[in-house]
């Protein structure tokens, strides 16, 4: 298992991309709208881990609600796992709680799951299994 990316919630993806593009001296490696999660993302590979900028696509999206409550900033840390189902089972066995979701599709055709911060010491954890 390794850190895959750090997710940063932003109100305006285009403005954030311009700032990070200047910082990293490169364009995003990947931009995508993920309808099932109601989010637009821009991913910058800057070694390991990557930086993922997330913008909600409507006021009810989890990212928009996060920003309304806490403001912009670090939203989650994501770990790359070989077997998502086994990683979820191990996390649940240790007392962590998976956040229910209807669809486990993530960016770039990956499978994802989220662990609730109330069971992980206050950190939203994403687990990703790449195809």
Q: In whole numbers, what is the pLDDT of the chain averaged over residues?
A: 96
Q: In what order do the strands lie in the sheet with 73-80?
A: 30-34, 39-44, 50-56, 2-9, 73-80, 125-129, 111-115
pTM of the predicted protein model: 0.93
In contact, 79 and 127? CB cutoff 8 Å: yes
pLDDT (tens digit per residue) in 38-57:
999 999 999 889 999 999 99
Q: Which class is 2-129 in CATH?
A: alpha beta
């Amino acid at each position: 298992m390794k850190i895959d990316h750090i997710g940063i919630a932003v109100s305006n993806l285009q403005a954030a991309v311009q700032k990070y593009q200047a910082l990293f001296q490169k364009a995003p490696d990947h931009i995508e709208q993920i309808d099932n999660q109601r989010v637009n993302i821009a991913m910058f590979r800057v070694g390991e881990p990557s930086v993922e900028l997330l913008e909600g696509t409507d006021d009810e999206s989890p990212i928009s609600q996060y920003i309304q409550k806490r403001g912009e900033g670090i939203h989650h840390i994501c770990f790359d796992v070989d077997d998502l189902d086994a990683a979820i089972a191990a996390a649940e066995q240790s007392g962590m709680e998976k956040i229910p979701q209807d669809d486990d599709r993530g960016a770039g055709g990956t499978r994802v799951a989220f662990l609730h911060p109330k069971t992980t010491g206050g950190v939203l954890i994403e687990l990703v299994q790449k195809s």
